[in-house]
Structure 1
Amino acid sequence: MSSKYTQSLAKFNAVLQGRTVTPPSQASICLAYIRGNYEMPNLGFATAEAIVKQGYFSPAEKAKAVKMISEVKNGLLDLIKASTWMDKKTKENAIQKASLMDASVAYPDWILNKTAQQIYYKGSNFFFYT
């Protein structure tokens, strides 16, 4: 959006809210679109795909990180199971809670699948692939 539009919107919101409203910076608007909002899907997935395809945080590096996190989680479970200070019920709850922990590492694997991205972005006003 142009700065003329954002300034007009800020003036409108100032009248509507009865206080001064500062228009957001262009950088914050761009970041909002990358993060996603209620009007359009999260552009961060397309951005992440581009970054991965440039060689940053490759699927192999991601797999190493996932394995490391899994090993840390298994170590935590071993510590809980070996503990002697927890009663049986507390230990069961701790094991269940630790077992349910999930890690989101870098990006979802589906972002490297063009068909999955086309489905995710279907109906958007932009198109990434030809």
Structure 2
Amino acid sequence: MTHDPISAHTAEAIADALATPGGHLSIGYGGFTLYFGAGATLTGYDVEPIKAACLSAGLPVIDGRAVPFDVLFDLVVRGPMPAVGRPPCPPPRHALSYAPLEEIAHAMAMAGAEVRNIPGIAPGGASQSQRTSSGL
């Protein structure tokens, strides 16, 4: 008998995230957050099984564990929030506004995060030359 590493509830949340504009998995130093609807999240600490399930389902994944803590903190606390299941706010965006997931993912990739399943962003994040030219 094989053991499925994710529950039926988690699989359903991943399916909902795939159907929701901006739905994605975010991974940081404190675990993961799966965004699957406007205001709907699933959080936890067992990162690798849910990361594998999301990647295999084609869900966008942003893994910020390789980003220096102070840089990650700045992006997450001072930057805009991802617009999940709701329209983004018009620019300019700030800490209490919502931005398209691609904008958040690009900023995270430029800082060195692993970004997967988001068109236009290399799977390993931004290249070193892109990070250097951005000042991050």
- Report the TM range for the smaller structure's normalisation: under 0.3
Higher helix share: 1
TM-score, structure 1 normalization: 0.27
| Rg larger for | 1
